[in-house]
Amino acid sequence: MNAPSGTLDETQLAALSQRLGISARQLLIAAARLAEDPERAADPAYRDRVLEDARDESPPAESAARLLLTPVPDYAINEVERLFAGIWPGSAARQDG
């Protein structure tokens, strides 16, 4: 992952979204939830649960996505990119399976 430029890498977001079989919008919701608790986010089972929950397009999830998709400071982008880096290696198995 590179230093943040103030925007998310759309190509990377699309690739991870495709690998996981989840919309980019819902993936961002999952990233926001994982960023809230970095200690728990280190647990692969917890990450999988959050990604599964993100598939639910409930009104609160949509509100979270709209909030996350507004311009965010660099530190937030850093957090999201760090979380994507943690999810990326395991996502290859999902694509193959």
Q: Residue 4: inside a domain, yes or no?
A: no
- Complete DSSP assignment for 24-84: HHHHHHHHHHHHH-HHHHTSHHHHHHHHHHHT---HHHHHHHHHHTS---HHHHHHHHHHH
Cα–Cα distance for residue pair 36/32, rounded to 1 Å: 7
List the pLDDT tens digit at each of the 97 positions of the chain: 444 456 678 888 899 889 988 888 888 888 888 888 889 988 999 988 888 888 877 777 676 666 666 665 555 667 777 778 888 887 877 766 5
Q: Residue 16: inside a domain, yes or no?
A: yes
pTM exceeds 0.75 for this model? no
pLDDT at 3: 46
Please give the residue range of the domain that contains residue 83: 10-96
Q: Residue 43: inside a domain, yes or no?
A: yes
The total domain count for the chain is 1
Q: Residue 2: inside a domain, yes or no?
A: no
Q: Residue 1: inside a domain, yes or no?
A: no
pLDDT at 43: 93
